Amino acid sequence: MAGTAKDHKEATAVDEPPQPRSVRVVILALMIAMLLAMLDNMIVGTAMPTIVGELGGLEHLSWVVTAYTLATAASTPIWGKLGDMYGRKGTFLTSIVIFLIGSVLSGMAQDMGQLIGFRAIQGLGAGGLMVGVMAIIGDLVPPRERGKYQGMMAAVMAVAMIGGPLAGGTITDHLGWRWSFYINLPLGAVALAMVTAVLHLPKKERTKPRIDYLGAALLTVGITSIVLVTTWGGTEYAWDSAVIMELIAIGVAALTGFFFVETKAAEPIMPLHIFRSRNFTLMSVIGFLAGFVMFGAVLFLPLFQQSVQGASATNSGLLLLPMLLSMLVVSMVAGRVTSSTGKYRLFPIIGGALMTAGLFLLSTMDTETSRLTSGLYMAVLGAGMGFLMQITMLVAQNSVELRDMGVASSGATLFRTLGSSFGVAIMGALFTGRVQDEMAARGGAGITQRSAQLDAASLAKLPDPIREAYEFAVASGTHVAFLLGAAVAVIGFVAAFFVKEVPLRGAGPKQEAVGDQPADRPVDKLAETV
């Protein structure tokens, strides 16, 4: 009888939702931190021409972005494991502080070498920001209730993509490029204060952690090699060059060693047992493919709008609104339906279908395509993304035990990041190759010998026949890039059919998912302590 009463008490504690007002305050603080990481790259990208003009070092320009991306990707799984081992609040606050230190130092940089190094510090903190947000939400809110907050995450993404370039241009023009880094300080201070004051999680048991240093080192080398291959391949070095081949060999060797070490480590940096869950593995694959497609689309749609449809750099960002608004609305609706019904399996299938359709429609654009038509195509793609972007994280977190919430969140984030790197690299290589081929066939190869992307000012200076040839070449390049994206999206669509409808934790005492641990849920403690 005592055991039965205890079980009933635990089940009741799990099913009682935390105080909605308390959770909303915590989620708001987390969203501010998430905005920090997303907004930074968008703002800095706009400021880069001015930065190069003052600091010089044009030949090292790509490293300002690459250093940040490398540090973020390589540190992501490590931050997730540290949160599982030492507690998420302290780990998350540490990542915010590191990000802000990197921001201050970047704003104070006196040459390009310093800026690259300080951007790496910033990226190191950014890796913990994204993982921390996802893992803490996973701790605070049961999967069944988490869909209610999906719209907030989608809104943050939309604000970053639209507001980032606008804010970057305004800040650079009126305050100077250094403020594109200093602007992180007030946001970061607010996030630090709010998280410190309102976030209360159960303390971890005091045990002596055994850190998997070798696994962390091998994973870092492997991820670094992959990101460098996708960043340098076809741009800095030919795909068949010795440097790229060496990086591929190093990456394969490091990751092979990593998988071997993880089977032996006492506290693996990424426990391989989480991949035994079919849903987690499928969500990792679908997340990789969604990242591949989404970031490729965000890169090439503004380029098409500027080069072919004559939009300004600012307007090309605003013209992405159909995709982002569609993604926001669909994400909110899907989240609400998931919370009310506990069902989610249909959403990745619908998302995969819409994403495939949207990319195929975008591949049909040419020099005669109107902005209205391209906007409708983008809305279809955005709807597909809305069904996928947050559901993949939700299902991935629901597929593992609570003690692995951090590594599950970091794993899902890492696969999406790697997918974006591959998407930009492979779609970019196809785009550049097609543009250069088309220009060579029309006698304009000289203007694209160094780059297939011309800014608006350079394009306006071209003679009419060359400019028209370039517009046709860009349309042709986006055609093959989006066609590849559609083919990749088909794989995600097929993978979604194999997702199993595992009940979401928090759906009721009789519907606990595999790996659920009611006694460890901090939801009831949050209601008491916040």
User: What residues contact 2, with CB distance under 8 A and at least 6 apart?
Assistant: none
Same domain, residue pair 293 and 381: yes
* CATH code, domain with 469: 1.20.1250.20
First to last CA, the chain: 33
For residue 53, the tally of other CB atoms under 10 A from its CB is 10
Same domain, residue pair 357 and 243: no
Question: What DSSP character marks residue 269?
Answer: S
Same domain, residue pair 297 and 394: yes
Q: How far apart are CA 57 and CA 243, in angstroms?
A: 22
Residue with tokens 């803490």: 136
H or E stretch at 189: helix 184-198
Residue with tokens 């990593």: 258
Helix axes of 20-55 and 88-107: crossing angle, nearest 10 degrees = 30
Q: Residue 7: inside a domain, yes or no?
A: no
Q: How confident is the model at residue 6, as a pLDDT?
A: 41
Same domain, residue pair 130 and 253: no
For residue 357, the tally of other CB atoms under 10 A from its CB is 18
User: 102: domain range?
Assistant: 12-211+514-530
Q: Are 307 and 471 in contact (CB under 8 A)?
A: yes
**SS3 category, 206:** coil
Same domain, residue pair 159 and 20: yes
Q: Residue 193: inside a domain, yes or no?
A: yes
Q: How far apart are CA 326 and CA 406, in angstroms?
A: 30
Instruction: Tokens for 153, please give them.
Output: 């995450």
Q: How confident is the model at residue 97, as a pLDDT?
A: 92
Within its chain, how far is the Cα of 327 from the centroid?
15
Same domain, residue pair 178 and 282: no
Residues of the chain falling short of pLDDT 70? 1-22, 45-46, 48-49, 52-53, 56-62, 144, 146-151, 165, 169, 202-209, 311-317, 442-464, 505-530
Q: How confident is the model at residue 1, as a pLDDT?
A: 42
Same domain, residue pair 490 and 392: yes
pTM over 0.85: no
- Phi then psi dihedrals of residue 111, to 5 deg: -150, 170
CA triplet 215, 83, 28: central angle to 5 degrees?
140
pLDDT in tens, 71-110: 888 888 888 888 877 788 888 899 999 999 999 998 888 8
Query: How many structural domains comprise the chain?
Result: 3
Q: How confident is the model at residue 101, as a pLDDT?
A: 93
- Phi then psi dihedrals of residue 237, to 5 deg: -135, 150
Please say whether the dihedral angle defined by the alpha carbons of residues 226, 414, 500 and 383, taken in this order, is positive or negative.
negative
Same domain, residue pair 91 and 34: yes
Q: How confident is the model at residue 454, as a pLDDT?
A: 54
**SS3 category, 16:** coil
Same domain, residue pair 89 and 205: yes
Q: How confident is the model at residue 490, as a pLDDT?
A: 93
